[in-house]
Amino acid sequence: MLLPLHSRKNVLLHGLPGSGKTTLVERLVNKIPYPKRGFYTREVREKGRRIGFKIVTLDGKEAWLAKRGKGYPQVGKYKVYVELFEKLAVPTISEIKDDEIVIIDEIGKMELFSKSFQEAVLKVLDSKSPVLATVGYGLIPFVEELFKRDDAIFAEVTPESRDYLVDRVAVEFYRQGLLIAIEGLDGAGKSTIIEGLAKKLEEKGEKVYVTREPTSGEWGQKIREHLAAGSKISPQAMAELFLRDRREHAQKFLIPKLQEKQIILCDRYYLSTMAYQGACELDVKELKKANETWAPVPDLILYFRVPVKEALKRVNQRKLYKPEVFETEEFLSRVASLYEENLKYFRHEIIDASANPEEVLAQAWKVLTNYLDEWKKRFT
């Protein structure tokens, strides 16, 4: 399997009823080129009127999950057929092989009347098997616990996002390219090191794409203008600008490059948003979830660690430099703390950026070559 190196192998889709979650999953099943097992939950209608829901397995078997009528357990107008569901659905997500993707559509109130289903879901999420699942809304303790998982990628399905999510989610299961995010405080020397890494990769014959955020696109330019002018824009508005810029970046550049056998070096990515906007008192976990709806998870983050005072010193030594609104020691200390607290969500390596550029480049190249070897083994 050409799974990403980041190792977060569970993708949980969520969205309001009618947002198109099942249709999205069906499109992904057709797009991802691996063996799969699991089930869909489908509406059943007669003369335009919904009469219930059926479980349909990927190998074509089906059974009633719920149907209009009275009985126990009951959800609204529907009686839930727990025994039929357990007999058909639970084995499809339990009896799995290592080379299969597990499809669960969906983990919702009706399905969760089954204790054996709950146990099977937790077991497969904790296993080595990749999982693509849809998760219902509602104040359901089991579902609320799923949304607390740090090992999952969450993507919100809306009429705006659902077509885009076909390619966006697919690259979390099938990825030929390699996405490396370069992170750190301004003054850590990222740009110089990226240039050096790109040159070394090209000398090895690799296809390299170097990019950065904010981008040079419409939204990226707006961000740069606000930062340079010291605009009194709210943290929420700034986070939204970054999200729009990142969505455009991912759609036009990152995802197409990941679908090819290319190495992407990205100067800043959404961990920067988590650190900088988190330092402005926004909820870091919510920023992470919002960004991962649109942005592929990086295979690797190289974090260039430098003391805040040293970073500020380097920045202030630049010619014709005008400080940005974020560049105070107090604020950057909060940013640095948030960077390091949130690296745990990603596969990462910390590089000591306080040394001279040649030593820092040597450190970074040594780390990167190990990951390149791991990446290439997937193709053999």
Residue ranges of the annotated binding site for ATP are 184-191
**Closest by Cα among 5, 118, 115 to 104:** 118
Residue 130 CA neighbour count, 13 Å, CB half: 27
**Binding-site residue positions:** 184-191
Structure tokens given for 11: 């993708």
Neighbours of 300 (CB within 10 A): 22
CB atoms within 10 A of CB 364: 24
- Could you give the residue ranges of the DSSP H alpha helices within the chain? 21-31, 82-92, 115-125, 141-146, 164-170, 190-203, 218-229, 235-249, 255-258, 270-278, 284-294, 308-316, 329-342, 357-377
Report how far Cα 213 is from the mean position of its chain's Cα atoms. 17
Neighbours of 189 (CB within 10 A): 24
Report the alpha-carbon distance of residue 304 to residue 321 in Å, rounded.
22
SS3 of 288-307: the string is HHHHHHHCCCCCEEEEEECC
d(CA 172, CA 73): 37
Neighbours of 102 (CB within 10 A): 24
